Every structure is written in C-alpha cells, then in structure tokens.
Structure 1
Amino acid sequence: MTNTENTILIAGGGIGGLATALAAAQAGHASSVFEQAPQFGEVGAGIQMAPNAMAVLTRLGVADRIAEFAVFPKRLVLKDAFTGEELTALDLGDEFKERYGFPYMVLHRSDLHRSLLEACESNPLISLHTNTTITAAEENEDGVFLINQHDEKIKGKAVIGADGIKSNVRKLFAQDDMVNSAYVAYRGTIPIEEISEDAEMDDVIMWIGPNLHVVQYPVRRGELYNQVVVFKSPTYTSESVEWGTPEEMAQVFEGCHSKVEKALSFINKQIRWPMYDRLPIDNWTKGNITLMGDAAHPMLQYLAQGGVQALEDAAKLADVLAAHGDNFEAAFKEFQEERIPRTARVQTTARQWGEIIHAIDPITIALRNDIFTKRPANDFSYTDWLYGHKRSLVTQ
C-alpha cells in the first residue's frame, strides 16, 4: 500500500466516498479511499438525482459524463395502485429547471458510480484501495487511523467515514442500532422492449397503496426500465427470519391495477432488500474524524434523497476543507453544524412521507387524495426546501 500519512482517509468507496474524494481534491487535499469489495462497483438498480444532486455533480465536473447515460423525465407522478387514478404530479419541465437551476435526472446506480470512479482514477490526488474492510477508526497522540480487517492501522491526516448504514466508524459517536421499518424492496431493471407500449416512458411513476408502492422509470438512455416494488411485511417481528417473501408480496398486492400486477411479474424476486434507517444523531465529529452520507444520516428511500444528501455532504466538505486547510477539527465542526439540521430534517421527512403514501386508514387516504388531486403540477411549495437548498453553496 502506498504511504497514506499525508492523505485524508476515506472509509467506503460508494457514491458518497468517491464524491468526497473528488471534493477533497478540489480543495487541494490528497485522499485515500478504502473499499471492502474486491473491486469498486455499485449494487442496486435505478437512482434519482434531483436538482440539489445535479448541482453537486456539476461542481465535481462529472455531470456531462453522467448525462450521457441518464434519462430526464418530464414529470413525477403519483397513482393509486388499485384504481390506476393519477393522484398528483410534479412538472419537471422548464419552469422547474428555471426555479432550481438544474434538471431532474434518473439513471442506473452503476452508471453514476462508474462516472465518479473514472473521475477519481484520473485525479492524481486520489488513491484507491480495494479488499479493505474498515473495522474501526481512532485518534490518539500518534495521529489518526483507520483499522482494517487484519488489525492493521492505516495512518492519515484525517478520517471521513463514508462506510454506509452499517458504518463501523459511526461507532465512535453512537452505539445505536439500525431501525427495521418492516418494509422490504425488490429491485430490478429489464430491457425496455419487454415493456408494453402503454408504459409511460416520459415519467417517474409511483403507484401507492396501503403498506405498498411501486416505482417505475427508464434508465440508461432509455434502454432499460427500472422497477422497485416495496411493501410492508404482514408477518415481520423483531425475531423474524423469513419475512418479506415473494409469497407475501403476492398477498399484499392482490387486487392491484393490471399495470402494477404486470410490474410484479417482471421483478427479480431472488434478492430482497430490507429497508432500514437510523434516528438522527446530534454529533458525528470528533477531532480529525467525521462521518458523511449513510454513515452519518441513513434514511428511508421515500424522498429519493439518500445518495443526494451524500452529495450535498461532499459539497460542504469541499468548502470547509478549502477554508480551514489542515485544521480538520475546525473544518469538520463547521461541516456538521450545517449538515446535521439539514439531514435530520430529510431523515424525519422521509419517514413521514412513507406514512403518507402507505396510509391504511380510509379517512386518511381520502383526505390525502383530496389534497393531492387539488394541487397543480407546477406547485413547488412542497419541494422548495428540498430541491432549492443553497444552490450557490453546491455550485461554487
């Protein structure tokens, strides 16, 4: 391994970790990124990049490359999963782009990750390391360190934990457990030609119903169709081992609209993704060590902001690293002072939005749908706080 003592050590080589390395490089800092897998890559299917993400990707110099693989939908649409009725929509056209400065984009997670990885590989300030599982981080009189699976200490100038929801670096700050939502997701992409002609290729569609939803949109230049099926397990308990099975999926979605039934027929039922988050914490920085992304603020996927908030973190880290030089303690304190209130709001709002779209009480559903159907597609009052966050900050 190359000498890392004069670099920022980044635990985790996912979207957040790579974006942080690029952000640090923009601030003039060398970094070493450690990934536990044999090679850098990204699992999953589609990912949504709202304007607050596009602003950061533009700042990092990768937006044009990513746009080659992306699809730019015309609307975000909510539909009733049983009746097929369109409940509400958000217009993503010219008025939206003018308001937020950037478009809304959807793409395959691997395409986003690959673009960030290629940018890192071509940057002389960034070194990439695989097959390294980070088990802990520590700071003592000898310096700041990451500790790997062989109990070896890796020394650096500072540590940024970007090691996801199961973060080992986070254990410095909180002994909290992941919170199981009792929901599970099944994800997958299929060739676009397998989708019937009546699929709405210009929109991101979310079909919603009691304890369930389905998300659909095209990715990879419109060559693939991404689908995510999410439902609450009717049998989950804290002791459960087998839960959220394909058989439960069939049970929960029984009687849904024909288009939803068709989506289920295409979904990959081999891999289930239990959906977890954690409660917000009031500190994730100590000395020359900090957290970012899902290590700091893991959230449920209902606002499509998990990866986006990691990108916002990276932008703020670029600012504080440039402002404070090698005074990482001051940089990281400023970083969390701004980011903790913001990310905590997104975390808690994601939970609330999940309760709204998955409502089971008929009166609640009726009131929700009445509000939804009355709002115009260009009413941005609900999204200004999320998509319009400090545009100047992330595009410097």
Structure 2
Amino acid sequence: MTILVAGGGIGGLAAALALANKGFAVTVLEQASSLGEIGAGIQIGPNAFHALDHLGVGPAARAKAVYVDGLVLMDAVSDERVCTIPLDEPFRERYRNPYAVIHRADLHGVLLEGCRAHERVVLRTACRVVDYENTGSGVVALTQGGERLEARALIGADGLRSAVRARLVGDGEPVVSGHTTYRSVIPTEQMPEELRWNAATLWAGPKCHIVHYPLQGWKVFNLVATVHTDAREAVAGEPVPTELVRQSFAHVAARPQRIIHAAESWKRWVLCDREPQETWIDGRVALLGDAAHPMLQYMAQGACMAMEDAVCLGRALEQAGNDLSTGLEAYRQERLPRTTRLQLASRAMGEYVYHPDAARRLARNAWLGAKTPVDFYNSLDWLYGFGAA
C-alpha cells in the first residue's frame, strides 16, 4: 500500500518527494482541480536550500531564484537605515548555501516537476480528504467524494484549515492576528528607481510595515504591506481598493509611501496562526507544514519549515522500516521544538521588530543598529545552519 499525502502545496509535494526518494510509494491528494500555487514572493534561507538539496531539486530551485545582497531594515517614520545583514560570500561560506527570494509558483513548480518525474509518486486532483480511520495496520482516508482509500500512513499537509488536523487536534478556527497584509506585484520599471534595491527590504513603522524585493529575474518587484486593522475574520486573496491601502500608510515617510503608490492593484489577507500543539500524531496519521505549525510571516520561514519537515519525515520513516508509527513519532519529536520556536519567534518579531512605535521603536533602532554582521550571524546560526550536514 501507498502513503497518502493530503494537500498538493509546497509542503505536500516536498513530503511526497522526500518519501519517494526513500523508497516509499506516495499518492498526493489535492482538493483543487489543478495543481498550482497562488501568492507571490517568498524568502528562502540557507536552511531551506539545504532541504531542497536533500530533496534533489536544489539546482532547479536555484535557477529560478533571485539572490539578494542583504536583508535591510529601514525606519518607515524617519526614512533612516537601521541595519543591514549582508548575504555575501562570508554568509554563504558560514551557512553553506545562499539566501534568495523566489516566486511561490516557481518554487511549487520545481517540486511539482520533481514529483511528476518520480516513478513512485502519483498525483490526484479534485480529491479532498475530509476524515480518516486508523485500522491498526494502516489508515483509511475518507474523501469528500465518498472514496475510502487504504494506505500505510496518511500525512496531513492540507494547510491552515486542515481537515486532518480538525480530526486529529480539534482546535477549531485559526487564531486571527488582527494584522491585514496587502500584496501586489509590479513591473520593475514601475518601482521608484531609487528604491530598486537588490535586497529584501523591510520598512518598519508604527503598527505597520512594507517589504519589497525583486523577483523572476528582476522582471517584477514583490510588495507586501501589512497594517494592524484589528480584523476579526480571516480573509484570503480578496481584492481591495487602491485608495484603502494608500490611506493605511499615510502616516509613514514619503519614500515608503511612494512604494505604496507605485502599485495599482492589491489583494488582502488577514494573517492567522495557531497555538503550538504537542499532538501531531494519531496512529498512522501525522501533520506537516501549516497543518502542524502555522506561523505568522515575520520570520519568513513558513514554507521553509514545511520543506524541513518533509526531509525529516522521509529520513524518520526510512529508519523505522516497517514500524511506521515509531517513525512518525520520531519525526514529531525532532520537529516539534524547532517549529514551536519559530511560531513564537514569528509573533515576537512582529511585535518588537516590525511594528513597534514611540520609545519601543527607538530602542529597536539602537539595539539592532549597534550589531555587526558577525553579531547577526551568531544570533542566526540556530536557524540558517540547520540541515547543512
């Protein structure tokens, strides 16, 4: 029997590829009618490139990426540069891989092609897993269409509102942060010329921030603008009037406002996460990626953690042999502390780095402005050095 993976996003495809590379037959069950990815840019740290290398698609991902020179923090009120983390040769030597940005659809496409080329991976669309039953020797996945699919194990990689998690954990709706993110992609020539930096740039303001970086061979710039709106309901990909976004950032300096005014269309998401949970496993069923540990965007590690999960899962099940339950538990024990740390760190980054105002803003500037590149690297070893071996 095969191993089933519920969800054909970045985490699900990475899991399928990791398991197939270890000799398992895998079937991916995607609820949408076609396999694809929405959204725009994501940041890929060295730890994610380590995972992509383990999956065998590192070179293909590198070919699609844009390699930025630094991570730049700007004060959106004073228009001053607070600090820069260089991503040049010393960074690459230390972490044995680069830092880059990539279009989400390009990264998904690399993993999808890897799965399509693998003889042990089957991809099914229009097939949503809604429940499961443990059988002792395996699991039965129940689909929305009424199928009962027997398998050796089921991996729930079905995202923030995972049906597998709903059965396994039962913790209800996600936690709504009250932070609304507006996203846009603009042609490079539309970006103000003096702001076409080869950097992942963060303009941090009072209860708001703007991020921008180049994508797709510098053809476009990715814009992400987030503001506290006290929204109480989750929203995903809803078009919004341009004027609404501009008004939301009227209190920041002139240059970051120019970035906002460069875009002519925006969509919004209300950011959500969940409280960390110890329960990821139920017999032959396990959670992965956002289904296990959804996190806010402020550490830029959501997709990276899903790919790390996949590599760990493949290795744990290979080492477990026929005792898949033990392998799933080993996977959980290895991944839980690290992903929980990222969930909590993402919340803290939003509060203390991205969005502080008044005296907290000045304290942030003094604290981060005094750091050297080596200081930053020392504080990031736990994150970017992971998986290098």
Q: 1:139, 1:145 within 8 Å by CA — same for their partners in 2? A: yes
Cα shift readout 1:173-202 (whole Å, capped 9, x = no counterpart): 322230000011111212212223212431
Residue 382 of structure 1 is matched in structure 2 by 379
* Identity rate, percent: 38
Tell me the SS of whatever aligns to 2:200: strand
Structure 1's unaligned 5+ residue stretches are 1-5
- TM-superposed CA distance for 1:248, in Å, is 5.2
- Partner in structure 2 of residue 331 of structure 1: 327
Note the alpha carbon deviations across 1:225-266, whole angstroms, 9 max, x for none.
Answer: 1111111105x34699x9997665334311322332122123
> Structure 1 stretch 255-264 or stretch 363-372: which is displaced more?
255-264
Once the two structures are overlaid, the 10-residue window that deviates more, 290-299 or 78-87, is 78-87
Deviations 1:309-364 (A, max 9, x none): 00110110121121112321010000000101110000000000000124444221
CA–CA distance in 1 between the matches of 2:174 and 2:241? Answer: 21
Seen in structure 2, the aligned counterparts of structure 1 residues 143 and 55 have a Cα distance that, compared at 3 Å, is: closer
Divergent runs of 4+, >6 A? 242-245
Report what 1:186 is aligned to. 182
Structure 1 partner of 2:79:
84
Which deviates more from structure 2 when the two are superposed, residues 208-217 or residues 150-159? Answer: 150-159
Aligned equivalents of 1:311, 1:81: Cα separation in 2: 33
Distance 1:142 1:85 in 2: 61
Instruction: Tell me what 2:286 maps to.
Output: 290
Distance 1:239 1:306 in 2: 18
Paired residue type of 1:381: N
Distance (whole Å) between structure 2 residues aligned to residue 17 and residue 101 of structure 1: 26
Contact preservation (8 Å) 2:207, 2:357: no
List runs of 5+ in structure 2 lacking aligned partners: none
Distance, in Å, in 1 between the alignment partners of 2:255 and 2:61 is 30
Pair 1:287–1:370, CA change in 2 (3 A): same
Normalization by structure 2: what TM-score? 0.94
Counterpart residue number, 2:101: 106
Answering whether residue 360 of structure 2 is matched by residue 356 of structure 1, we say no
Mean CA deviation greater in 285-294 or 200-209: 200-209
1:125 alignment counterpart: 120
Q: 1:374 to 1:381 in 2, by over 3 A?
A: same
The letter of the residue matching 1:153 is R
Match of 2:160 among 161, 165, 185: 165
Of 221-230 and 274-283, more deviation after overlay is shown by 221-230
Q: Which residue of 1 aligns with 2:37?
A: 42
Q: Shift of residue 172 of structure 1? A: 3.0
Q: 1:342 to 1:154 in 2, by over 3 A?
A: same
SS of the equivalent of 1:299 reads coil
In structure 2, C-alpha distance between the alignment counterparts of 1:321 and 1:335, rounded to whole Å: 8
1:64 correspondence with 2:56: no
Match 1:305 to one of 301, 307, 322? 301
- Aligned partners of 2:87 and 2:240: how far apart in 1? 34
Per-residue CA deviations over 1:197-222 (Å, capped at 9, x if unaligned) read 21243111010011111110011121
Partner of 1:7: 2
TM-score by length of 1: 0.92
Q: 1:340 aligns with which of 326, 333, 336?
A: 336
Question: Corresponding residue for 2:69?
Answer: 74
**Aligned positions of 1:218-233 closer than 5 A:** 218-233=214-229
- Give the 3-state SS of the residue equivalent to 2:195 in structure 1: coil
Q: Deviations over 1:41-77 (max 9, x none)?
A: 0000001100000001111121111222210111000
Q: Distance in 1 between matches of 2:195 and 2:242?
A: 24
CA distance, structure 2, for counterparts of residue 363 and residue 243 of structure 1: 35
Does residue 51 (structure 1) correspond to residue 46 (structure 2)? The answer is yes
Aligned residue identity for 1:253 = F
> Residue 320 of structure 1 aligns to which amino acid in structure 2?
A
Cα distance in 2 for partners of 1:338, 1:61 equals: 22
Helix, strand or coil at the partner of 1:382: helix
Q: One-letter code of the match for 1:42?
A: E
Counterpart of 1:150 (choices 136, 140, 145) is 145
CA offset at residue 381 of structure 1?
Answer: 2.1
For residue 378 of structure 1, report the CA deviation from its aligned partner: 3.6
Asked if 2 retains the 8 angstrom alpha-carbon contact of 1:233 and 1:248, the reply is no
The secondary structure found in structure 2 opposite 1:86 is: strand
Q: Choose 209-218 or 319-328, whichever is displaced more.
A: 319-328
Matching residue of 2:256: 260
Letter in 1 for 2:80: E
Q: Which whole-Å CA distance do the structure 1 matches of 2:202 and 2:348 have between them?
A: 16
Paired residues, number: 385
1:146, distance to aligned residue in structure 2 (A): 1.5
The 8 Å contact of residues 14 and 310 in structure 2, kept in 1 or not, is answered as yes
Q: CA deviation at 1:384?
A: 1.2
Residues in 2 aligned to 1:302 and 1:347: alpha-carbon distance in whole angstroms: 10
CA contact (8 A) 1:232 1:244 kept: no
Change (3 A) 1:196 1:251: closer
